[in-house]
């Protein structure tokens, strides 16, 4: 299978021809080989040569197409180009040594054996020979093929050395376990636990990059369970780790909110691959550790945990160097609103409650409902069906009210500029108060979401505040229309 694939790939065939002619040992190594054996798709391939990877990259690109743009990274001795939707990176074989206070190695030229020794895991040290005499031959010095069959993450060297040299490898081990549904070797797992503090030399950006990859895996709970078990989670995201555990008092206990959060995350991951929606699922109950309270005769409560959790999101994102933009605000919004839809299942719920949720959730209402449905983690199938039916009722109410009132992301029909002109006001709090009163009246169903009713409400509100309108509705409409015509011209 490997030989047939290599000979059909034009880039690999060209590398083979050039390196064989020049008698340069050349190999495909790492993740591409692993994924090829597992039957997983790959978008990039690493080529290791004994010599200058940059020179080989230049020759190969020129032979394929002189117009191919090759990117060089001389400080690292690497070169890369894209060809037919694949990235090919070339590097000279090397051996590495590390200093205790840095994950950046001291690099020297080496052999393919040296290069395989520096790899993080046995399954990533597999190499395929590209030289004509041994084309397609698998080089496997650490039984990586056997570990692939076992579904095992294992280091080529002593795991304490591997993880102490480059602590990011601990995160990578857990990420691969989550992505591939593999187990981590017991010795490696113990070494991760003992080297957790070494993560202090890793930038938060690199840590978050691995967290995002774990979140995007098919079953992210595998990764987060391992992060918690090894103590990494307590170091990088203690707010989530603190949810673990069950307290009992007077025979009453609450559920383990950490494991519940992971179930919600897995539930949502089955229906959406949106990274930030998955972050919202992971953190939706993060406020529970700060709001937990035992009430005699009632049991454990977490009142307001959604609001407390929403307030925690910016600090968490800042600490992890995650984006502090609309993506953070999106996660914050969903965490803050995730308890709201459940109250809408009552038969007597008012349209105003539905309108307010539509207004506050805006275009994210569908994602909010996905999160709420994923939040159903009962093992009782009858309960699950009941809750799902309830949320279907909520969805129907949301659609009905939105079709009638058009309040999703709406702005009142009366603008601040109109309020200023009608009452001859200077910029002041009064303008905002009137505009907010109009918005509340629409949301509460006191008036419909149209210009005529909003105008009448504005005039009445202004007069209650001692203001006298100076213009009629017809004049404002005429001037607004005239201004629009002039703007169009």
Q: What is the pLDDT of residues 441-465, one digit of tens each?
A: 888 888 888 899 999 999 999 999 8
- Position 343 scores a pLDDT of 82
Nearest Cα to Cα of residue 361 among 387, 342, 335, 343 = 335
Per cent of the chain over pLDDT 90 is 69
Lowest mean pLDDT among 4-18, 109-123, 393-407: 393-407
pLDDT beyond 70 at 406 = yes
Query: Which has the minimum average pLDDT: 101-105, 106-110, 292-296, 415-419?
Result: 101-105
Give per-residue pLDDT as tens, 43-68.
Answer: 999 999 999 999 999 999 999 999 99
Q: According to the model, what pLDDT value does residue 365 have?
A: 93
pLDDT for the residue numbered 488 = 36
Least confident of 19-33, 83-97, 450-464: 83-97
Q: Is the pLDDT of residue 489 over 60?
A: no
**What are the start-end ranges of the H helices in 166-274?**
168-180, 186-194, 204-215, 221-230, 232-236, 238-241, 257-269
Residue bearing tokens 């957790």: 196
pLDDT (tens digit, 9 = 90+) per residue, 323-346? 999 999 999 999 999 999 988 876
pLDDT (mean) for 294-318: 94
Residue 480 predicted with pLDDT over 80: no
Per residue in 344-368, pLDDT (tens digit) is 876 667 788 888 888 889 899 999 9
Q: Show Cβ contacts of residue 472 under 8 Å, excluding neighbours closer than 6 positions.
A: none
User: What is the pLDDT at residue 98?
Assistant: 59
Residue 479: the pLDDT is 79
96 contacts 106 by C-beta, under 8 angstroms: yes
The per-residue pLDDT for range 137-172, each reduced to its tens digit, is 999 999 999 999 999 999 999 999 999 889 999 999
Structure tokens at 311: 């307030």
Helix, coil or strand: residue 88: strand
Highest mean pLDDT: which range of 249-258, 265-274, 374-383: 265-274
Residue-level pLDDT at 484: 40
Please name the residues in contact with 217: beta carbons below 8 A apart, sequence gap of 6 or more: 175, 178, 179, 223
User: What are the structure tokens assigned to 378, written together?
Assistant: 């009962």
pLDDT at site 96: 63
Angle in degrees, CA 241, 246, 250, rounded to 5: 150
- Smallest CA-to-CA distance from 248 within 282, 305, 294 is with 294
CA angle 145, 18, 115 (to 5 degrees): 40
What's the whole-number average pLDDT of the chain?
90
> What pLDDT does residue 34 have?
96
């Amino acid at each position: 299978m490997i030989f047939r694939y290599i000979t059909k790939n034009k880039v690999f065939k060209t590398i083979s021809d050039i390196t064989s002619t020049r008698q340069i040992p050349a190999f495909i190594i790492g993740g591409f080989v692993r994924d090829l054996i597992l039957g997983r798709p790959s978008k990039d391939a690493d080529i290791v040569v004994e010599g200058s990877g940059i020179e080989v990259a230049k020759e190969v690109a020129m032979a394929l197409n002189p117009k191919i743009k090759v990117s060089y990274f001389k400080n690292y001795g690497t070169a890369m180009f894209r060809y037919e939707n694949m990235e090919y990176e070339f590097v000279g074989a090397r051996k590495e040594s590390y200093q205790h206070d840095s994950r950046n190695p001291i690099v020297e030229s080496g052999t393919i054996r040296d290069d395989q020794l520096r790899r993080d895991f046995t399954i990533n040290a597999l190499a395929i020979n590209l030289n004509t005499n041994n084309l397609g031959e698998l080089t496997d010095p650490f039984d990586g093929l056997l570990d692939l069959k076992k579904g095992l993450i294992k280091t080529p060297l002593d795991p304490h050395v591997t993880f102490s040299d480059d602590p990011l490898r601990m995160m990578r081990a857990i990420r691969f376990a989550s992505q591939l549904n593999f187990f981590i070797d017991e010795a490696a797992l113990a070494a991760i636990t003992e080297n957790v503090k070494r993560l202090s030399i890793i930038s938060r950006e690199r840590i978050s990059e691995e967290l995002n990859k774990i979140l995007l895996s098919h079953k992210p709970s595998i990764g987060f369970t391992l992060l918690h078990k090894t103590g990494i989670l307590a170091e990088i995201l203690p707010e989530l780790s603190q949810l673990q555990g069950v307290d009992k008092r007077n025979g009453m206990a609450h559920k383990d909110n950490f494991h519940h959060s992971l179930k919600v995350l897995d539930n949502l991951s089955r229906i959406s691959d949106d990274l930030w929606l998955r972050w919202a699922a992971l953190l939706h109950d993060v406020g529970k550790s700060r709001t937990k309270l035992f009430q005699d005769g009632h049991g454990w409560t977490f009142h307001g945990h959604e609001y407390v959790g929403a307030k925690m999101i910016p600090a968490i994102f800042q600490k992890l160097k995650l984006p502090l933009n609309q993506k953070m605000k999106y996660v914050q919004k969903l965490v803050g609103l995730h308890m709201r839809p459940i109250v809408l299942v009552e038969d007597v719920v008012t349209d105003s409650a539905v309108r307010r949720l539509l207004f506050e959730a805006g275009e994210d209402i569908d994602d909010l409902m996905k999160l709420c449905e994923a939040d159903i983690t009962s093992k009782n199938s009858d309960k699950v069906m009941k809750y799902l039916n309830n949320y279907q009722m909520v969805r129907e109410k949301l659609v009905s009210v939105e079709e009638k009132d058009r309040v999703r992301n709406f702005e009142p029909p009366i603008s601040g500029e109109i309020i200023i002109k009608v009452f001859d006001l200077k910029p002041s709090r009064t303008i905002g108060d009137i505009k907010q009163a109009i918005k509340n009246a629409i949301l509460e169903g006191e008036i419909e979401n149209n210009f005529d009713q909003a105008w009448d409400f504005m005039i009445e509100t202004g007069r209650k505040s001692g203001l006298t309108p100076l213009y009629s509705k017809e004049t404002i409409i005429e001037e607004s229309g005239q201004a629009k015509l002039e703007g169009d011209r």
